[in-house]
Structure 1
Amino acid sequence: MTSQIHPFRHLVIVGGGTAGWMAASLFQHAWARFGVEITVVESEKIGIIGVGEGSTPSLRHFFRTLGIAETEWMAQCHATYKCGIHFPNWSSHLSQNAYFHPFYSELDWKSGSAFIYNANLRRKGYDVEAHPDYFWLQTKLAQGKRSPVSKQASGKELDYGYHFDSAKLGAYLKCRAIKLGIRHINDTVVAVKRAKEGHVTQIQLARTGALCGDMYLDCTGFQGLLIRQALNADYVDFSSQLLNDKAIAIPSSVPLKDKVASQTTSTAMSNGWAWSIPLSNRVGNGYVYSSQHISDDSAEAELRRHIGSNVSQGEARLINMQLGRVEQHWYHNVLAVGLSQGFIEPLEATAISCIQYTIERFIDIVDEARTSGKEIASTHLQDKYNADINRIFDAVKDYITAHYRLNTRTDSQYWIDNRENQDHSSTLQALLSGWDDPDTHFEKLVHDLDAQTMYLAPSWYCLFAGKGRFPRTLRSVPLDTNYANAIDASKYCQHQSTFFNDHKKQLLKTYGQHYPEPVTF
Structure 2
Amino acid sequence: MKVLNVVGGGSAGWMTAIYLNRYFNREAQNFHINVIESPDIGIIGVGEATVHSIRFFFGAMGLDEAELMAETNATIKSGIMFRNWMKPVDGEVHEYFHPFDQQQPGGSVDISSAWFVGERHARERYDEGVSLNSHLIKWGHCPKNISSPQYQAVAPYGYHLDATLLARFLRRKAVEQGVRHIEATVTDVDVVSGKILSVDTDQGRIAGDFFIDCTGFRGLLIEKLQRDNWISFRDVLPCDKAVAIQRDLPEGETPRPFTVATALSSGWAWQIDLVNRQGSGYVYDSERLSPEEAESELRAFLGAESSVIKCSHLDMNVGCRQSAWVGNCVAIGLSGGFIEPLESTGLHMIHLGVGQLATHLAGDDGSAELRDSYNEKMRGFYQDLKQFIVLHYCLSNRDDSDFWRGAPASLDGCAWLKSKLPLWKRKICEYQDFAGSYASIFTDTNYRYVLYGMQHYPSPRFAMSENEVGAIFSRFSQLLSRAKSGTMDHEEFLRTVHAKARG
TM-score (normalizing by structure 2): 0.90
What is the aligned partner in structure 2 of residue 199 from structure 1?
A: 195
Give the structure 2 partner of residue 293 of structure 1.
288
Give the equivalent residue in structure 2 for 1:5.
Answer: none
Counterpart-to-counterpart distance in 2, 1:121 and 1:422: 29
1:14 aligned to which of 7, 15, 19: 7
Q: Which amino acid aligns with 2:468?
A: D
Instruction: Give how far 1:273 is off.
Output: 0.6
1:101 aligns with 2:98: yes
Q: Find the counterpart in structure 2 of residue 383 from structure 1.
A: 372
Q: Which residue of 1 aligns with 2:187?
A: 190
Q: For 2:117 and 2:297, how far apart are their aligned partners in 1?
A: 40
Superposition pairs of residues 82-481 of structure 1, within 5 angstroms: 82-92=77-87, 94-95=89-90, 97-104=94-101, 108-110=104-106, 114-118=110-114, 121=117, 131-151=126-146, 157-196=154-193, 198-206=194-202, 208-232=203-227, 234-254=229-249, 259-367=254-362, 369=363, 375-436=364-425, 438=426, 440=427, 442-443=429-430, 446-448=433-435, 450=437, 452-470=439-457
Distance, in Å, in 2 between the alignment partners of 1:354 and 1:470 is 30
Cα displacement string for residues 378-401 of structure 1 (whole angstroms, at most 9, x for unaligned residues): 111110111111111111111001
1:506 pairs with one of 477, 480, 485: 485
Amino acid at match of 2:157: Y
Moved more, 267-276 or 141-150: 141-150
**Root mean square deviation, CA, Å:** 3.0
Structure 1 length-normalised TM: 0.87
Query: Aligned partners of 1:119, 1:382: CA distance in 2, in Å?
Result: 45
Percent identity of the aligned residues?
A: 30
Q: Partners of 2:82 and 2:294 in 1: how far apart?
A: 19
SS at match of 1:442: coil
Q: 1:382 to 1:337 in 2, by over 3 A?
A: same
Q: Which amino acid aligns with 1:446?
A: D
Q: Bigger CA drift: 28-37 or 169-178?
A: 28-37
Structure 1 stretch displaced more, 135-144 or 488-497: 488-497
Aligned-partner Cα distance in 2 for 1:35–1:66: 18
Structure 1 position 188, deviation (Å)? 1.2
Render the CA deviation track for 1:196-231: whole Å, top value 9, x for unaligned: 2x011111112x221111100000000000112443
Greater mean alpha carbon deviation, residues 441-450 or residues 55-64: 441-450
Residue 488 (structure 1) aligns with = 468
Deviation sequence 1:232-273 (CA, Å, 0-9, x none):
262101011101011001112125798321001111111111
Question: 1:30: how far off?
Answer: 1.3
Alpha-carbon distance between aligned partners in 1 of 2:296 and 2:478, rounded to the nearest angstrom: 43
Distance 2:232 2:429 in 1: 29
Q: Secondary structure at the match of 1:34?
A: coil
Counterpart-to-counterpart distance in 2, 1:52 and 1:113: 38
| TM-fit CA distance, 1:284 | 0.4
Distance 1:300 1:135 in 2: 37
* C-alpha contact 1:392 1:454 (8 A) present in aligned 2: no
- Please tell me whether the aligned partners of residues 75 and 161 of structure 2 are also in contact (alpha carbons under 8 angstroms): yes
Q: Which residue does 1:46 correspond to in 2?
A: 41
Secondary structure, counterpart of 1:158 in structure 2: coil
Q: Is the 8 A contact 1:81 1:162 kept in 2?
A: yes
Cα deviations by residue, 1:84-129 (Å, 9 ceiling, x for unpaired): 1110111116456111111116x55549965420466599x99686
Amino acid at match of 2:312: R
The 1:408–1:382 alpha-carbon spacing in structure 2 relative to 1, beyond 3 Å, is: same
Residues of 2 paired with 1:200 and 1:492: CA distance? 60
Are 2:499 and 1:520 aligned? no
Provide closer, same or farther for how the CA distance between residues 510 and 286 of structure 1 changes in structure 2, counting only shifts above 3 A.
Answer: closer
1:372 maps to none
Aligned length: 494
| Whole-Å separation in 1 of the counterparts to 2:403 and 2:76 | 33
State the 1:451 CA deviation.
6.2
Q: Which amino acid aligns with 2:498?
A: E
Q: How does 1:21-32 map to 2 (within 5 A)?
A: 21-32=14-25
When structure 1 is superposed on structure 2, of 92-101 and 387-396 the one drifting more is 92-101
Alpha-carbon distance in 2 for matches of 1:112, 1:176: 49
TM superposition shift of 1:419 = 1.7
Contact 1:244 1:289 in 2 (8 A): yes
Alpha carbons 1:152, 1:510 under 8 Å: kept? no
SS at match of 1:73: helix
Shift of 1:413: 1.3
Partner of 1:74: 69
What SS is found at the alignment partner of 2:442? Answer: coil
What amino acid sits opposite 1:202 in the alignment?
S
Q: Partners of 1:315 and 1:255 in 2: how far apart?
A: 15
Are the equivalent residues in 2 in contact too, given 1:117–1:489 (CA < 8 A)?
no
Counterpart in 2 of 1:4? none
Tell me the amino acid that sits aligned with residue 399 of structure 1. F
Letter in 2 for 1:377: G
CA contact (8 A) 2:232 2:320 kept: yes
Q: Return the offset for 1:13.
A: 0.7
Letter in 2 for 1:483: A
The answer for unaligned runs of 5 or more in structure 1 is 1-7, 370-374
Return the letter of the residue paired with 2:289: I
Q: 1:264 to 1:487 in 2, by over 3 A?
A: farther
Deviations 1:131-159 (A, max 9, x none): 22332001111222211113456997421
Structure 2 CA distance for partners of 1:381 and 1:505, relative to 1, 3 Å: closer
